[in-house]
Amino acid sequence: MSTSSPPGRRRSPSKNEAPSLEATLIATVAPLMRHLIAHARRRQAWSELTYQQYNVLRMIDTMGPQGQAEVARRLMVTAPVVTRLAASLADQELVERGADPKDGRAVVLTLTTKGRRRARAMRRDLLEAARELLEPIPEKRRAAIEAALEELQVLVPAHSARR
């Protein structure tokens, strides 16, 4: 019986084999992000807002007013998702929705002063949570993690909402 995989398919590692880089990436990135968000959510600025809402606020804070279609494209979600996010953020007076001067049918999202303060407070809290999680790791290993993360940036599409 052959143990080789069909062309283009990798076989799953057996109990005695180390997981592949791909499997380790999948098994690490999402749970790590969930853990980081959970750690940040213990702070006041994160009360009542979701990570998706934070991403909308952060994008507008760093890039200026954004059309809802552009927000959807950058966050890689559908237009109805952004419509719901924008409505919730507008209800909390964190964003204002206005007509796009170039296309009256399109909606542009702008941060309010309250929204800008909230976005920046959430960013500070997220960075502090990351700092706390990384703190126990020895400096040499932290430098290796930083180098690996820089290499992984090539996997993030240029149009996505980074930072």
- Phi and psi (nearest 5°) for 144? -65, -40
Mean pLDDT (the chain) is 88
Three-class DSSP category at 77: coil
Is the confidence at residue 19, as pLDDT, over 90? no
In this prediction, residues 118-135 reach a mean pLDDT of 95
Q: What is the pLDDT of residues 45-92, one digit of tens each?
A: 998 899 999 999 999 999 999 999 999 999 999 999 999 999 999 999
pLDDT confidence tier of residue 119, bands split at 50, 70 and 90 = very high
pLDDT at 2: 45
Least confident range of 47-61, 118-132, 142-156: 142-156
What single-letter DSSP state applies at residue 17? S
User: Does 158 map to a domain?
Assistant: no
> Which two tokens mark 118?
């909230």
Domain count of the chain? Answer: 1
Q: How far apart are CA 89 and CA 96, in angstroms?
A: 8
Q: How far apart are CA 163 and CA 150, in angstroms?
A: 12
CATH number at residue 77: 1.10.10.10
pLDDT at 102: 85
pLDDT confidence tier of residue 13, bands split at 50, 70 and 90 = low
**Residue 134: its H or E element:** helix 113-134
Is 0.85 surpassed by the pTM of this model?
no
User: Does 51 map to a domain?
Assistant: yes
pLDDT at 18: 72
Q: By residue range, what is the domain housing residue 61?
A: 21-153
User: Does 13 map to a domain?
Assistant: no
Is the confidence at residue 101, as pLDDT, over 90? no
Q: How far apart are CA 42 and CA 129, in angstroms?
A: 9
User: Does 117 map to a domain?
Assistant: yes
